Amino acid sequence: MKTSPFKVTKQKLSAKAVEAKKRRDKKAAMTPIRRKRKAENQRLGQRSDSDLHHTGNGVKRVSIKNNRGNFGRGTKTE
Q: What CA–CA distance (Å, rounded) separates 39 from 45?
A: 10
- Domain for residue 4, yes or no? no
What pLDDT shows up at residue 3? 63
What pLDDT shows up at residue 9? 63
**75 phi/psi in degrees, rounded to 5:** -115, 0
- Domain for residue 48, yes or no? yes
Q: What CA–CA distance (Å, rounded) separates 74 from 66?
A: 9
What pLDDT shows up at residue 35? 94
**13 phi/psi in degrees, rounded to 5:** -115, 150
Q: What is the pLDDT of residues 16-51, one digit of tens each?
A: 999 999 999 999 999 999 999 889 888 888 788 888
Number of domains in the chain: 1
Predicted TM-score of the model (pTM): 0.52
Q: What CA–CA distance (Å, rounded) separates 13 from 24?
A: 14
Q: How many CB atoms lie within 10 A of CB 6?
A: 6
- Domain for residue 38, yes or no? yes
